[in-house]
Every structure is written in structure tokens, then in C-alpha cells.
Amino acid sequence: MTSLGLLLRSRVRVPRGNRGLRVGFADGTSAFVFRETVIDRPAPRDPCVLVVTFALRAVRGRGHALFRRESLLNTLLFAGFPGLVSKLWLTDDQRGRYRGLYEWDGPESATAYAGALWRVLALVSAPGSIDYRVLPGLDRTGLFEQLPHGTEQADGSQWWRVTEVGAVAATR
């Protein structure tokens, strides 16, 4: 009901400015932002970033485009979670995994959401493909500012670590 109230009061926005933004990760994969969701709310007192990954079971080819369109309906499932600030929805990467980059007010709220999301994703995701990381003390800007510099090596096991933010391009 909280999500519906936010929608009815026009407090859920879907800005287009980041659509097509390419985001690279430490495991050598990248994906494009296909949607952004922002909740109109006060600035977070205890900012954190939540990064989620999963691979959909049995979705191939054109099924990915259908999933991206259908996922707009999923906004009702998460928009009302306490502490949500924003979400960048990323396309599937070179390994068929989707990611969500969320901003939250409070790591406890982000962790609670991730646990609830895990149960829903388990119904449609390949076994063992769901994972998440909560990064306390960061907002999205802070996450993007922590990109590796110079000779610093990115660790390929850190699938969640953003290593590159590219120019906005047309989304798939």
C-alpha cells in the first residue's frame, strides 16, 4: 500500500537522464542503465548503496527485452520499502546477469530489502545466481567516485565493484 500511495502522490519518478549509461564492473562485464526510479524523499541521513545481481532462468534472446518492459510493474513491489532513495536498473551483462544499483537510507533497510528481494528472485532466477552487497557510507556519486585509478587493479571476484562509468548511449 505504501508504494501505491507514493505513486498516487507522484512521489515516484522515472527520470531519463541516466538511460543508456554504461557501467563496467570488476569482473570484466558491463551493462547499460535501462531505467531509473527515484523516490521523492528527504536526503538520506545514513546513505548506502545496495548492488544486486541475478540471472533469470530460461530467459534468452528477445525474452530479455520483454523482461525489461515488464519490470516496470515490479516498481510496486519495492518503491514503498523504507529508506529507498533510487534504483538504476541495468540490462543483462555479457554473462546474462542483471544488476540493480540502489541508493538507501540505512544499511539495515537495504539488507532487509535484499532479503525480501532474494525470496522473490529465487522463483525466477537460475540457482546460485542471486547475490548482493551493501556498501555503507556511500551514495551513487560516492560509488562512482571510487573507480580504480592508474595502476590499481580491479579484482574480478568483486562483481559488484564499479570500475567504469561510460557515456550515455542508446539502450537495447
Q: Quick one: 106 exposed, middle or buried, by C-beta within 10 A (0-12, 13-18, 19+)?
A: middle
Average of per-residue pLDDT across 145-170: 73
3-state secondary structure of 1: coil
At 137, the pLDDT band (50, 70, 90 cuts) reads very high
d(CA 14, CA 16): 7
Fold of 2-149+156-166: Alpha-Beta Plaits (3.30.70)
pLDDT per residue as tens digits for the range 109-125: 999 999 999 998 898 89
Domain boundaries, the chain: 2-149+156-166
Quick check: 143 pLDDT over 60?
Answer: yes
pLDDT per residue as tens digits for the range 57-106: 876 667 667 666 666 667 677 777 889 999 999 998 999 899 999 999 99
DSSP 74: G
